[in-house]
Structure 1
Amino acid sequence: MKHFEDYRGVVDDAVLEEIREKAKAIQGATVAHVNATSYGGGVAEILDSFVLLMNDLGIRTDWRVLHGIPDFFEVTKKFHNALQGQELSFSEEELDLYKFINEKFARFAFLDHDYVIIHDPQPCALIRHIAHTSPWVWRCHIDITNPNPQAWAFMEPYIVEYDRMIVSSEIYKVPDLAIEQDIISPSIDPLSPKNMDLPDQVIEDYLTQYQIPTDKPIITQVSRFDPWKDPEGVLKVYERVKEQIDCRLIFVYNMASDDPEGVKILAKMTEVAKDYLDRGDVLFVRGDDPILVNVMQRISDVVIQKSTREGFGLVITEAMWKGTPVVASNVGGIPTQMVDGVTGYLLEPHDYDGFAEKIRALLEDKSLAQELGRQAKEHVRGHFLITGHLLDYIDLILSL
């Protein structure tokens, strides 16, 4: 089991001492985080380490997962897509189901903590059904720069009941919202199985176990099968790269319990990429094992993230931490963490030729790839590790 002191030597001692000193002011306080899934996706991965470290610092922190049914998660996935700008409409039955599941969970959630932090739209309505005098915070991890009007009109009355809203980037702040808004960047845990250093033998064993060939350069996208991750667009980029360089494309994916779309998009992509899959030029690798994801990000020559919307994109942070060059879309929270031409390359999401050109350049120039990767790792060390994230949340709690 990891402890706070384990990060000594990974981050500056001064950062660790500042966290310890500030945490003393809230030792013994109780904090609850609530989200919609215990696995799959960046929020669950953050909380998996975050809650342990909060407790190690003496801050009594719980993690509650909203209980729902498949129809509920179909509705909340629609909310996720609609708040990111997709044109969708909601029936009264769908809205009633959303309200019912939140009200039902509220009856046995026992959220009587000193501070409550609700993550994303799924449990947002809990605030209306639990009597409280302590501060409640809504943490929005998605891109809400251009939300669907119906979805926002439904969610906003719940949101403004919170004491604070937290977003990942300045561009996500909502003009004229009736509550205060702060920015906290997400983070990765450098000591987690997904990000820790791996011995060469472990890497070799995983490549053998999962039958991952390394006979040609590898381009990898790590993501759910989600329309916003544009898997068909990734395939189009790969086709352009392959015209000049013999290489392999690997989709490393997982399925989250609150995302029913994934199975459908996987089935569609299996048909779209059938010829490449049959030849072994494209591989679909299920990444439920975090060490496997770690391996794939390390052995890839280039990591691509061709999202058309992206709240932040922790898979980019993970790849950067491993020194693997990244070519990504200049959308949402991605440019918050990448410096174009310094820690990777940013392009417009539908610039297929531009993506292919940058990937080819990295495959052809190993020194360029290594330099971008080196600078990317140090950028993550300075800005996007979980220790800094802890400090941000302690500062948030002290300000409430």
Structure 2
Amino acid sequence: MPDLEKYEKIVGKEVMNTLKEQSQRFSKSHILCVNSTSEGGGVAELLNSMVILFNKLGIPFGWRILHGDPDFFTITKKFHNALQGQPMNLSSMKKKIYLEVNRRFSIFTHIDHDLVIIHDPQPLPLIHFYRKRQPWIFRCHIDISNPYPQTWDYLKTFINKYDHFVISQDLFKKKITIPQTVIHPAIDPLTIKNRDITEKTVDKYLDKSGIERNLPIISQISRFDKWKDPLGVIRIFEMVRQREPCQLILLGSFASDDPEGHMMLKKVEKRAEKSKYNKDIRLILNGPDILVNSLQRASTVVIQKSIREGFALTVSEALYKKTPVVASRVGGIPLQVQHGTNGFLHEPGDLQGFATSILTLLRDEAMRTQFGKNGNAHITGNFLITRLMLDWLALFKQYLP
């Protein structure tokens, strides 16, 4: 993990001094985060950086992983989908399995920290199984702008037991009995995925994966998940490919708490094989972070065609690397993509709009260069992990002495 001094070169001395000064207040406060996976997806990625950096700043910051069986994760994936609007049959058996996994975890996991932060619905009911001796914060990373009512009403009974509710943007605020705060996610500029690398390194890792640079690269880097709409990305690519030579790279992964990923991958593979341009479509599974870094830098355009989206850190990653993004106008994406300035935004169903914007960028190098500069400046100023940590420190002040 990089030294704190290296962040100073990116965000400036003043920001780092503020971080260090504000962290001193909590040097004797033990803080705990709980989620359900250590890898795959933006939440695990955020925690991997945030937990280590807070410890480097002198705050005893812990992280526990809720372990569940396949039945549990199938149910919590349904919760995830329902929070993003998909109907769900919430049976008594689903509730029983959901609660039982959390109850078991509470038996062998002792929580005697000064502050507890629970991430997303999987460990949400934990608060029900502990004698509450400290403030508990629920951090929801999901797009809950239009949840399925029955599921939301059930989960809300647990949320209202917490002291505070943290979401990714104002659109996600709900009618609940506890205070709510918006904390935008952020990227760590010094991880392997985001740090500066040479053009030689980019070429090396593209070559290792069999990606040639003889054609402009259009890419989407996201989990294989229906909410990321990889099938729609292929349709858009076909519209673009009819008019300009280019290639599509879909680089995806599975979060260990997402049992639907394998099914979606099979659908995407089938659809890609049927495409008239199948020779120009590549699917890459579980590529290492250095390949993600290389691909985002080598891409002419990055797509993020989400149907629902909490935030989409992949957008900030690409913009930070000076690559323009064409994305859906959903969730936290419009906070990152400034339409006509560092990329283009479209409604998820506007395939022609996506294709037109991609073609515009493919044909205009000067625009791509300017969008790239604008994107890097916007992310550096608003969506780096140092800002995220300052936001959390401000919230800690409300609950810790």
In which range does the TM-score fall when normalised by the shorter chain?
A: over 0.9
Q: For 2:83, give the aligned amino acid.
A: L
Contact preservation (8 Å) 2:329, 2:347: yes
SS at match of 2:193: coil
Distance 2:82 2:2 in 1: 38
Following superposition of structure 1 onto structure 2, how do residues 221-240 of structure 1 map, counting pairs within 5 Å?
Answer: 221-240=220-239
Contact preservation (8 Å) 2:251, 2:287: no
Residues 1:358 and 2:360 are matched in the alignment: no
Following superposition of structure 1 onto structure 2, how do residues 135-174 of structure 1 map, counting pairs within 5 Å?
Answer: 135-174=135-174
Q: For 1:169, give the aligned amino acid.
A: Q
Quote how far apart the aligned CAs of 1:8 are.
Answer: 1.1
Distance 2:138 2:170 in 1: 16
Residues 1:53 and 2:48 are matched in the alignment: no
1:6 maps to which residue? Answer: 6
Distance 1:3 1:132 in 2: 36
Distance 2:21 2:285 in 1: 42
Distance 1:363 1:397 in 2: 46
Quote how far apart the aligned CAs of 1:280 are.
Answer: 2.2
Quote how far apart the aligned CAs of 1:270 are.
Answer: 1.0
Residues 1:68 and 2:88 are matched in the alignment: no
TM-score normalised by the chain length of structure 2:
0.98
Following superposition of structure 1 onto structure 2, how do residues 87-98 of structure 1 map, counting pairs within 5 Å?
Answer: 87-98=87-98
Give structure 1 stretches of 5+ with no counterpart.
none
Distance 1:66 1:340 in 2: 39
2:294 maps to which residue? Answer: 295
Residues 1:283 and 2:258 are matched in the alignment: no
Distance 2:391 2:153 in 1: 30
Distance 2:110 2:389 in 1: 24
Distance 1:367 1:63 in 2: 45
Give structure 2 stretches of 5+ with no counterpart.
none
Distance 2:195 2:275 in 1: 32
Q: For 1:390, give the aligned amino acid.
A: M
Query: CA 1:226/1:113 → structure 2, altered by over 3 Å: closer, same or farther?
Result: same
Residues 1:22 and 2:43 are matched in the alignment: no
Quote how far apart the aligned CAs of 1:88 are.
Answer: 1.8
2:344 maps to which residue? Answer: 345
1:42 maps to which residue? Answer: 42
C-alpha distance after superposition, 1:251-275 (max 9, x if no partner): 0101111001100010111111114
C-alpha distance after superposition, 1:348-367 (max 9, x if no partner): 11100000000000000011
Amino-acid identity (%): 45
Quote how far apart the aligned CAs of 1:230 are.
Answer: 0.9
1:133 maps to which residue? Answer: 133
Quote how far apart the aligned CAs of 1:108 are.
Answer: 1.4
C-alpha distance after superposition, 1:31-83 (max 9, x if no partner): 11111100000000011111111001110001111110011000000000001
Distance 1:323 1:301 in 2: 10
Distance 1:70 1:214 in 2: 40
Quote how far apart the aligned CAs of 1:278 are.
Answer: 8.2
Quote how far apart the aligned CAs of 1:89 are.
Answer: 1.2
Query: CA 1:127/1:288 → structure 2, altered by over 3 Å: closer, same or farther?
Result: farther
Quote how far apart the aligned CAs of 1:288 are.
Answer: 3.8
Quote how far apart the aligned CAs of 1:390 are.
Answer: 0.8
TM-score normalised by the chain length of structure 1:
0.98
2:326 maps to which residue? Answer: 327
Contact preservation (8 Å) 2:361, 2:368: yes
| Count of residue correspondences | 399
Q: For 1:235, give the aligned amino acid.
A: I
2:251 maps to which residue? Answer: 252
Quote how far apart the aligned CAs of 1:199 are.
Answer: 1.9
SS at match of 2:9: coil
1:82 maps to which residue? Answer: 82
Q: For 1:100, give the aligned amino acid.
A: E
Distance 1:36 1:179 in 2: 24
